[in-house]
Amino acid sequence: MKRPVAFITGASRGIGRAIAIELARHGHDIAGSARGFDPADTSRGLLEVKQRVEELGGRFLPLQGDVAALDDHDRMIDEIHAEYGRLDVLVNNAGVAPEQRLDVLEMHAASYDRVLGINLRGPFFLSQNIARRMLRQTGENPAATRAIVFITSVSAYTSSLSRAEYCISKVGLSMAAAVFADRLSAHGIQVYEVRPGIIRTDMTSAVKEKYDKRIAEGLIPQMRWGTPEDVGKTVAALVGGSFNYSTGAVIEVSGGMNVRRL
């Protein structure tokens, strides 16, 4: 039986890297994208992830592509089909924070357009493209779950005045997950939303001291930072076939930030 194939955007580091490694551990071959990578550098980025995946017995196809550039989508998907002959799982992970955190009354249109383009517009149209191809795909692997996973954030329901564009992009992505779940449910394609909380990555390194303090003060019931591996294990569980009657599910990986407390 062929190994199922997963495409993970933003796979060179952080959460995307952890998802790629965890899915390889659970029997997937991987295609991973980044906006750029050095073909000679195996110590970091996509080629470092490739080494880790291959150590786990999987194959890894590194792809250069910008999810915000719709012209890149067909090329990346075509490369995946040329390499593996199929695509079973899409994980919409690539995302960015604002380059400069500004109050909502000071945020400028360029930042809004950049964040929404990468975090929402790109994943929406990539999912549309891949869903169409999944519906046409022949030679199905009965052991493989076909799934699309959207990595959103607790920012989908939590206001952050210094990064309003990020919050807006994530709540939009949350609705994208819902409408794709609705549209694809009758065709056996599962769609899930995973909402990370405060995860220790490069994106959050600039605010480490702030969140160290807030976590110590009780912001997170489980009293610790999340890790990329926490998210990776969640995605692996969802696409591993154990949740095939749960399309549209929203799984929060936040240490309990969703718990309402007095």
Residue 258 belongs to a domain: no
- Higher per-residue confidence, 145 vs 255: 255
In this model, does residue 117 exceed pLDDT 70? yes
Q: Is residue 77 part of a domain?
A: yes
In this structure, is residue 260 part of a structural domain?
Answer: no
Partners of 169 in the beta sheet? none
State the pLDDT at residue 85. 94
Average pLDDT over residues 215-236: 98
pLDDT higher at 139 or 197: 197
Q: Is residue 261 pLDDT above 80, yes or no? A: yes
**Domain CATH for 42:** 3.40.50.720
Number of domains in the chain: 1
- pLDDT score of 225 more than 70: yes
Q: What is the pLDDT of residue 139?
A: 66
Average pLDDT over residues 32-59: 95
pLDDT digits over 183-220, tens only? 999 999 999 999 999 999 998 998 999 999 999 999 99
The reported pLDDT for the residue numbered 143 is: 60
226, 199 in Cβ contact below 8 A?
A: yes
Residue 9 has pLDDT above 90, yes or no: yes
What is the mean predicted confidence (pLDDT) over 146-168? 97
Euclidean distance between CA atoms 36 and 34, whole angstroms:
5
Label the pairing between strands 89-92 and 5-8: parallel
Q: If pLDDT is split at 50, 70 and 90, which confidence band does 142 have?
A: low
**Is residue 259 included in any domain, yes or no?**
no
| Per-residue model confidence (pLDDT) at position 144 | 75
| Residue 1 pLDDT level (bands cut at 50, 70, 90) | low
- Look at 108-112, 140-144, 179-183, 189-193 and tell me which has the smallest mean pLDDT: 140-144
d(CA 43, CA 47): 7
Residue 238 lies in a domain: yes
User: 50 or 145: which carries more pLDDT confidence?
Assistant: 50
Contact 19, 4 (CB under 8 A): no
The 3-class secondary structure across the chain, one letter per residue, is: CCCCEEEECCCCCHHHHHHHHHHHHCCCEEEEEECCCCCCCCCCHHHHHHHHHHHCCCCEEEEECCCCCHHHHHHHHHHHHHHHCCCCEEEECCCCCCCCCCCCCCCCHHHHHHHHHHHHHHHHHHHHHHHHHHHHCCCCCCCCCCEEEEECCHHHCCCCCCCHHHHHHHHHHHHHHHHHHHHHHHHCCEEEEEEECCECCCCCHHHHHHHHHHHHCCCCCCCCCECHHHHHHHHHHHHHHHCCCCCCCEEEECCCCCCCCC
The two tokens of residue 120 are 């929402």
Residues 6+ apart with CB under 8 A from 29: 3, 4, 5, 6, 58, 59, 60, 61, 84
What is residue 40's predicted lDDT score, i.e. its pLDDT?
86
What pTM did the predictor assign? 0.96
Residue identified by tokens 């997950």 is 177
Instruction: State residue 133's pLDDT score.
Output: 96
Domain that holds residue 59: 5-253
Beta bridge pairs of residue 250: 193
Tell me the C-alpha distance between 38 and 119, whole Å. Answer: 24
pLDDT at site 262 = 85
Mean pLDDT of the chain: 96
Region 94-102: mean pLDDT is 96
Q: How far out from the chain centre does Cα 65 lie?
A: 15
Q: Which of 185, 153, 187, 189 is nearest to 171 (CA)?
A: 153
Cβ–Cβ < 8 Å for 237, 231 = no
CB 254 within 8 A of CB 225: no
